């Protein structure tokens, strides 16, 4: 009994005008598809500025932001320390295409506090980091195939825009026009949380599989929290078959603690990729591994990978400022406690009302799901029709000053800038919006 009756909507006049123009310039009016608001109501909001946990759109509407630029802004918007370090750095020039001390500084900050990595290479996006990690895995093992999981997103490189074909273990099918079928043939796509599928894939394609890649915690298609034993199983089976295990920690890196999901599970992956938080809101990605493995990257080794703006000083500066803050005492403990309290209060409200709604969460990542299922661990267990509820929920939240990602498959993030007062305000808005949804 979904209630779609509308209350008064916030003004989106200026955003609508900007969107109209943007559509003349960009496909779909955007530079990244999800921003077009195709899965929710109304025109996309054009954001003018952000501060702390707040953003303001072109019409002057203020929102408590749980999208946080899709995860990078773990300290909130416009953090003073990041702004100062970036400003200081940009006064000396924006880019040199030559090494700078700032790259050493960020690498040192990461490597000295992460026992899962010995060497790292900076790139400019998460996509680039994962693409390079896959190349390294192939170059190192001399094998071509990779195993990826249905529902995990690893950026938009050709090998990874592949979805499951029919049958338990098959070659993938391209999930985008323009990806050659021969590329998709090198990617095996299987469901998460299914040991048998992994075993079958290794039996069928033994000695051809270069790597298994998984998100630290799959968080790009709902929040599909895996059992720890399953992750250990992946570590064991890859080792037995001399394939590499890649943790794509573009979301979980520096989010689930400074050492990310690797430390959360106590599992040593062969290659780890980073993005999002590592750049403090600037375009930075990275991949890292043992010194031995990284020795295969050019110019030391035969796996080529380069970038005109890689290790860009201004981007490094933002990363250094942000990661330095994350090293402060109890940073993650405080953040996660806040997130836990936020989620529990919502769960209690929902339980009392008997709503078909659940908040899945791990650390400061959460996912609002219109479901009664106790656990959702695989993409195929998500009920697609539940997204109709999310659509109404999203609109009602915007009308009450809360900004979530414009799709029910997206997770939300709590930052250090979300204080008790704002979290309570957001809770109230969530309660009211759920009442409208289930009216
Ligand atoms: C966001 C994301 C990527 C892609 O990163 P971009 O910076 O958008 O290219 C890759 N993997 C995961 C797990 C991500 O969440």
Per-residue pLDDT for 3 more than 60? Answer: yes
Reported confidence tier of residue 1, pLDDT bands at 50, 70, 90: low
Distance 233 CA to ligand 1 centre (A): 25
Distance 154 CA to ligand 1 centre (A): 6
Q: Which residues 6+ apart lie within 8 Å of 314 measured at CB?
A: 86, 89, 90, 94, 95, 282
Q: What is the mean pLDDT of residues 64-89?
A: 98
Q: Give me the chain's average pLDDT, please.
A: 96
Q: What is the mean pLDDT of residues 234-253?
A: 98
pLDDT of residue 172: 78
Distance 432 CA to ligand 1 centre (A): 33
Ramachandran category for residue 218: left, alpha or beta (phi over 0 → left; psi -120 to 50 → alpha) = beta
Do residues 282 and 125 touch, judged by C-beta distance below 8 A? no
Task: Give catalytic residues, as residue numbers.
Answer: 153, 248, 276
**Ligand 1 atom nearest residue 126's Cα:** 5
Q: What is the mean pLDDT of residues 335-358?
A: 98
Distance 215 CA to ligand 1 centre (A): 10
Q: What is the pLDDT of residues 263-300, one digit of tens each?
A: 999 999 999 999 999 999 999 999 999 999 999 999 99
Q: Domains, the chain, ranges and CATH?
A: 13-65+330-438 (3.90.1150.10), 81-326 (3.40.640.10)
Q: Which residues 6+ apart lie within 8 Å of 69 measured at CB?
A: 281
* Alpha-carbon span 13 to 366, nearest angstrom: 31
Ligand 1, atom 14: closest residue by C-alpha: 250
Phi, psi of 289 (to 5 degrees): -165, -165
Ligand 1, atom 11: closest residue by C-alpha: 154
- Please choose from 154, 221, 310, 315 the residue to mutate so as to test ligand 1's pocket, defined by most ligand atoms within 8 A of CB: 154
**Pairing state of beta strands 47-51 and 54-57?**
antiparallel
Distance 65 CA to ligand 1 centre (A): 20
Do residues 36 and 30 touch, judged by C-beta distance below 8 A? yes
Per-residue pLDDT for 128 more than 90? Answer: yes
- Please choose from 148, 276, 411 the residue to mutate so as to test ligand 1's pocket, defined by most ligand atoms within 8 A of CB: 276
Ligand 1 site residues (CB inside 6 A) read: 125-127, 130, 153-155, 215, 220, 248, 250-251, 275, 285
**Which H/E stretch holds residue 358?**
strand 358-362
The DSSP code for 179 is S
pLDDT of residue 198: 97
Q: What is the pLDDT of residues 13-52, one digit of tens each?
A: 999 999 999 999 999 999 999 999 999 999 999 999 999 9
* Alpha-carbon span 393 to 388, nearest angstrom: 9
**Ligand 1 atom nearest residue 252's Cα:** 13
Instruction: Kindly state the percentage of the chain with pLDDT values over 90.
Output: 94
Closest CA to 209 of 260, 177, 244, 159: 244
- Please choose from 30, 155, 247 the residue to mutate so as to test ligand 1's pocket, defined by most ligand atoms within 8 A of CB: 155
Rounded to two decimals, the pTM is: 0.97
Distance 157 CA to ligand 1 centre (A): 10
Do residues 3 and 355 touch, judged by C-beta distance below 8 A? no
CA atoms within 13 A on the CB side of 258: 19
Verify cis geometry, omega within 30 degrees of 0, for the bond prior to 299. Answer: yes
- Helices 101-111 and 313-326, interaxial angle, to 10°? 30
* Alpha-carbon span 96 to 316, nearest angstrom: 13
Cβ burial 110-145 (10 Å sphere, 16+ → b, else e)? beeebebbebbbbbbbbbbbbbbbbbbbbbbbebeb
Ligand 1, atom 8: closest residue by C-alpha: 126
Strand order in the sheet with 62-65: 47-51, 54-57, 62-65, 402-403
**Ligand 1 atom nearest residue 251's Cα:** 15
**Pairing state of beta strands 62-65 and 402-403?**
parallel
**Ligand 1 atom nearest residue 128's Cα:** 9
* Alpha-carbon span 11 to 349, nearest angstrom: 30
pLDDT of residue 80: 98
* Alpha-carbon span 66 to 366, nearest angstrom: 9
* Alpha-carbon span 106 to 313, nearest angstrom: 10
């Amino acid at each position: 009994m979904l209630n779609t009756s509308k209350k008064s909507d916030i003004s989106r006049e200026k955003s609508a005008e900007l969107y109209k123009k943007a559509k003349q310039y960009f496909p779909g009016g955007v530079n990244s598809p999800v921003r077009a608001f195709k899965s929710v109501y109304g025109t996309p909001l054009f954001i003018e500025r952000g501060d702390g946990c707040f953003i303001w759109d072109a019409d002057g509407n203020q929102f408590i932001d749980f999208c946080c630029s899709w995860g990078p802004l773990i300290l909130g918007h416009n953090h003073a320390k990041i702004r100062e370090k970036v400003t200081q750095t940009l006064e000396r020039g924006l880019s040199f295409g030559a090494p700078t001390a700032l790259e050493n500084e960020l690498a040192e900050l990461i490597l000295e506090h992460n026992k899962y990595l010995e060497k790292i290479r900076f790139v400019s996006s998460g996509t680039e980091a994962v693409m390079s990690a896959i190349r390294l895995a192939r170059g190192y093992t001399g094998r071509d195939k990779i195993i990826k999981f249905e529902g995990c997103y690893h950026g938009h490189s050709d090998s990874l825009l592949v979805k499951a074909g029919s049958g338990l273990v098959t070659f993938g099918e391209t999930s985008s026009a323009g990806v050659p079928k021969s590329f998709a043939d090198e990617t095996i796509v299987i469901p998460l949380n299914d040991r048998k599928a992994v075993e079958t894939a290794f039996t069928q394609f033994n000695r051809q599989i270069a790597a298994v890649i998984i998100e630290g915690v799959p968080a790009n298609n709902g929040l599909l929290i895996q059992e720890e034993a399953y992750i250990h199983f992946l570590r064991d089976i890859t080792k037995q078959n001399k394939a590499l295990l890649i943790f794509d920690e573009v979301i979980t890196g520096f989010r689930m603690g400074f050492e990310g999901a690797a430390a959360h599970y106590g599992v040593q992956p062969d290659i780890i990729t980073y993005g999002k938080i590592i750049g403090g809101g600037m375009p930075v990605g990275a991949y890292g591994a043992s010194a031995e493995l990284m020795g295969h990257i050019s110019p030391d080794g035969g796996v080529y990978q380069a970038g005109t703006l890689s290790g860009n000083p201004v981007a490094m500066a933002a990363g250094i400022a942000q990661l330095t803050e994350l090293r402060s005492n109890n940073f993650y403990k405080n953040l996660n406690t806040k997130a836990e309290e936020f989620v529990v209060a919502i769960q209690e409200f929902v339980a009392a009302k008997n709503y078909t709604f659940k908040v899945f969460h791990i650390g400061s990542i959460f996912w609002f799901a219109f479901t009664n299922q106790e656990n959702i661990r695989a993409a195929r267990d998500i009920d697609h029709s539940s997204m109709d509820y999310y659509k109404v929920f999203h609109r009602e939240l915007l009308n009450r000053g809360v900004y979530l990602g414009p799709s029910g498959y997206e997770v939300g993030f709590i930052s250090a800038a979300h204080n008790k007062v704002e979290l309570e305000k957001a809770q109230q808005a969530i309660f009211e919006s759920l009442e409208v949804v289930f009216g």
